[in-house]
Structure 1
Amino acid sequence: MKLSYVSTSSIREALRYSMARMQADLVDGQKEVQSGKVADTGLALGVRTGKTVSLSRDIDRLKAIIDSNTLVASRLTTTQDSLSQISDAASTFLTAMTSASSGNATPETTRQAAVSMLEALTGIVNSSFNGEHIFAGVNTDVVPLADYFASGSPAKAAFDAAFEAKFGFAQSDAAAADITPEEMTAFMEGAASDLFLGDGWSTVWSEATDQGITTRIALNETAETSVSANNEGIRKLVMAATMVANLFEAPLNDQALGTIAKKATLLVGEAMGDIAQTQAKTGFVEQRITQASERITMQSDIFKDFLHDLEGVDPYEASTRVNALISQIETSYALTARIQQLSLTRLLS
C-alpha cells in the first residue's frame, strides 16, 4: 500500500488559484450585468467580432448626425425667431412710411421710425447662437452687419460720399432744398442702390458670405442650414431705413422727401415678401431635418437590435452567476481562514 500526504500549503495554493479565477469571473460578470453585453467580445464571438465592431461604428456615426441635427434645428429655430422679429419691425416701419408718403407725418417722426428700424435690424442680424453669428454665412466668427450709427462708421461715410459725389454738396447744405424729385430718384436708383444692392454692400456693409452653412443631415443627404445677411430682403430694409434716417434730416423740399418715402415704402414691401420666402425656405429645411432624424433614429434602433443579438447577455442569468460567484468567494475565504488555523503544534497540545 502506498501512502501520500496533503500539506496545508498545497491546499492554500489550490484555494488561492481557485479564488483568483473566481474573482476574475466576478469582475467579468459585474461588467456584463452593468453593460448588458459580454465582457470579452472577442472571446465570446470569435470570428463574428468584426460584425460588432462595424455595427458599433455605424451606430456612433448615426448618433453623431442626430446630435448635429439637434444643434442645427435649434439654430434654425433661432433664425426663424429672428426673421419673425425682422418681419414685425418691417411691418411697423411700413406703417410709418405709408403715413409719410401720404403727408400725414412730420419728417422728424418719420426719421425716428427709420432710426429705430435700422437699430433693431442691426441688432437682430448681428445676433448669435451658441457663440456663432447666425446671419454670417460660413464666417460665423465675424459680426455680419456694419453698425451705421457707430462712431466713424464706414457705411455712413460711404453714403455721405455718394450723395456729395452725385449733387456736389453735403446733405446739410442749403442747396439741398433745390433737389428735384427726378434728381433724387436718379440718386436712389443709381449711386445709393449700388451701396446696398450692388458691390458696395460687401465693401462697406456686410462681412457675411453669400454661401451658407451646408450640413450633413443624413448619411446621403445635405442641406443649407443658415441664412446670410446678404439676403435680398435684408439689403432692401437696410437701404430703406438708411435713406430715410439720413436724408430726412437734410433741408430737402417736400417733393423730394415724398419721393424718398415712396421709394422706401416700395423697398420695405418687397423686403417683407423676400423675408417671407426666406422663412418658408427655412421652415422646409427644418422639416427635412426632423424627418431625417426620425429615419436615422429608426435605422440606429435596428442596428442596436442586431448588435444586442450578437453580444447581449441575459441580465437575470448574469445576475444569478454574479451572486453565485460572490457566495463561492465568501466560502473560499472562510475555508482559507480555517486552514490557516491548522498546525501540528495545536493538534499535539
Structure 2
Amino acid sequence: MKAFFVSSSAVSEALRYSVMRSQSALVKAQKEATTGFVADSGLALGARTSQTVSFARELERMKAIVSTNAVISSRLSATQEGLDRVSDLAQSFLSTLTTNLAGKTTSRVSVDEANRTLSTLTSVLNTNLNGEYLFAGINTDQKPLADYEAASASKAAYDAAFAQYLADTGASAADPFPTPADIDSFVTNYMDPLFMGGGWSDWSSASDQRISSRIALNEKTDTSVTANNEGIRKLVMASTIVIETLSGDMDEAARGRLIESTMSMIGEALADLTQLRAETGMTQKRVTEASERLGAQADIFERHLLKMEGVDPYEAATRANDLLGDIEASYALTARIQQLSLLKFIS
C-alpha cells in the first residue's frame, strides 16, 4: 500500500488554475449575454466563418449608407426650403415690376424691391448647414455668392461692363438708354456675358459640379444644388439691372422695355427654379426609398447572422451567474486552504 502526500500548496495551485479557467469562461459568457452572439465565431462556426464575415461587412456598409442618407436628407430638405424662398422672392419681385409697368407704383418701389430681392437671395444662397454651404456645389467650404456692395468684385464687374457700353456706344452716363433698342443692346451684349458667361465668376465662388453621393449599394446621384444654376443667375441679373438703371431719369419707352426685359428674365428664372425644385424633390424621394430598401435588406442580414451566430442571452446570463458563483466559492476555499499551517495545527 502506497502513501500519497498532498500538500496545501498543490491544492491551492489546482484551485488557482480552476479559477483562471472559470474566469476565461465567464468573460465569454458575459460577452454572449450582452451581445446575443457567440464570443468566438471562428470556434463556433468553423469553415462557415468567412460567410458570416462577408455578411457582417455588407451589413456595416448598409448601415453606413443609411446613416449618410440621413445627413443627405437633411441637406436636401434645407436646400428645398431655400429654393422655395428664392422662388417666393422671384414671384414677389415679378409682381412689383408688373405693377410698376402698369403705372400703379413708382420706379423707386421696384428698385427697393430689387435691393431686397438681391440681399435676401444672397443670404439664402449662403446658407450654411453643419459647416457646409448648401449652394456651393463641391466647394462646400466657400461662400457661394458675394455681397453686392461698393467695394465688391461683382460691383466692379458691373461698373466695368457699363463703362464699356458707354465707350462702345458713345452714350452719356446721364442718359445711357435713350431708346428701347439701347436697352436691348445693353442686356444682350453686356449683361448676358457678364451673368450667363465667364463674368459670373465675379459673383459666384460655387462649383458647377454638384455633390454626388452613393445612396444605395449600387446607386449614386447628385445630392446638392449650385448657385451657378441659370435660374439663379437670371434672378441676380434682373435684380442688378433694376438696381443700377431704373433709379435714374429714363425715356418712358426705354423704361418700359427695361421692365419688360427684366420681367422676362424673372419669368425664365422661375421656370428654371421650378425645374430645380422638382429635381431636388425627386432626389429626396430616391434617397428616402433607398434608405427604406437598405433597411429591409439590413434586417434580413441581421436575422441571418443571428441564426448563424446567435445565442440565447438568458442561457448565457445563467451560465455567467453560475460561473461567477463557482469563482466566488473557489476564492473562499483558496482563502481557507491558505490559512492551513502546521504551526496552527500543533498549537
The more displaced of 158-167 and 262-271 is 158-167
Cα deviation digits, residues 268-307 of structure 1 (max 9, x gap): 1221121111111100010000110111111111111121
CA displacement, residues 38-76 of structure 1 (integer Å, 9 cap, x when unaligned): 222222222222222211211111111111111111100
Q: Which residue of 2 aligns with 1:277?
A: 275
Matches within 5 A, 1:223-302: 223-302=221-300
Tell me, yes or no, if the aligned pair for 1:145 and 1:207 is still in contact at 8 Å: yes
Q: Which amino acid aligns with 2:69?
A: N
Match in the other structure for 2:152: 153
Counterpart CA distance in 1 for 2:164 and 2:249 is: 18
Corresponding position of 2:44: 44
SS at match of 1:190: helix
Correspondence for 1:66: 66
Letter in 2 for 1:317: E
Structure 2 counterpart of 1:314: 312
For the structure 1 residues 46 and 251, does the alpha-carbon distance in structure 2 shift closer, same or farther, using more than 3 Å as the test? Answer: same
Aligned to 2:339: 341
| CA–CA separation in structure 1 for the residues paired with 2:250 and 2:318 | 92
Letter in 2 for 1:227: V
Match of 1:189 in 2: 188
Aligned partner letter, 1:186: S
Q: Deviations over 1:293-334 (max 9, x none)?
A: 111111111111121122211111101111111111121122
Q: Secondary structure at the match of 2:214?
A: strand
1:166 matched to 2:141? The reply is no
Distance 2:267 2:173 in 1: 31
The separation in 2 between residues aligned to 1:135 and 1:342, in whole angstroms, is: 81
Aligned-residue offset at 1:252: 2.1
Q: Distance in 2 between matches of 1:182 and 1:346?
A: 122
- CA–CA distance in 2 between the matches of 1:16 and 1:341? 15
CA distance in 1: counterparts of 2:338 and 2:208, whole angstroms: 83
Deviations 1:91-130 (A, max 9, x none): 1111111011112221212111111111111111121211
Please give the secondary structure, in 2, of the residue aligned with 1:217. strand
Conserved? CA contact 2:207–2:228, under 8 Å: yes
Using the alignment, how far apart are the partners of 1:170 and 1:309 within structure 2?
85
Give me the whole-angstrom Cα distance separating, in 2, the residues matched to 1:240 and 1:23. 78
- Counterparts of 2:293 and 2:172, CA distance in 1: 62
Q: Distance in 2 between matches of 1:185 and 1:217?
A: 46
CA distance, structure 2, for counterparts of residue 90 and residue 171 of structure 1: 31
Letter in 2 for 1:191: Y
User: Conserved in 1, the CA contact under 8 Å of 2:19 and 2:327?
Assistant: yes
Residues paired across the two proteins, number: 346
| 2:139 pairs with 1:139 | yes
In the TM superposition, structure 1's runs of 4+ consecutive aligned residues that sit over 4 Å from their partners are 169-172
3-state SS of paired residue (1:228): coil
Name the % identity: 49
- Measure how far apart 1:170 and its partner are: 10
Partners of 1:283 and 1:343 in 2: CA distance = 84
Q: Partner amino acid for 1:262? A: E
C-alpha spacing 1:320/1:24, structure 2 compared with 1 (3 Å): same
> What residue number does 1:122 align with?
122
**8 Å CA contact retained: 1:237, 1:267:** yes
Q: Is the 8 A contact 1:75 1:129 kept in 2?
A: yes
The corresponding residue for 2:330 is 332
TM-score for the superposition, normalised by structure 2: 0.95
Gap change, CA 1:199 and 1:337, over 3 Å in 2: closer
CA distance in 2, matches of 1:341, 1:156: 94
Match of 1:199 in 2: 198
Deviates more, 1:284-293 or 1:27-36: 27-36
Q: Is this contact kept in 1: 2:166–2:172, CA < 8 A?
A: no
Q: How far 1:237 sits from its partner (Å)?
A: 0.5
Equivalent position amino acid for 2:183 in 1: M
2:56 is aligned to: 56
Q: Does the 8 Å contact 1:164/1:171 carry over to 2?
A: no
Q: Deviations over 1:209-261 (max 9, x none)?
A: 22211111111111111111111110110111010011022332222222111
Deviations 1:171-220 (A, max 9, x none): 983343x6111111221122112111223223x22222222111111111
Q: CA RMSD in A?
A: 1.8
Opposite residue 2 of structure 1, the aligned amino acid is K
Seen in structure 2, the aligned counterparts of structure 1 residues 99 and 171 have a Cα distance that, compared at 3 Å, is farther
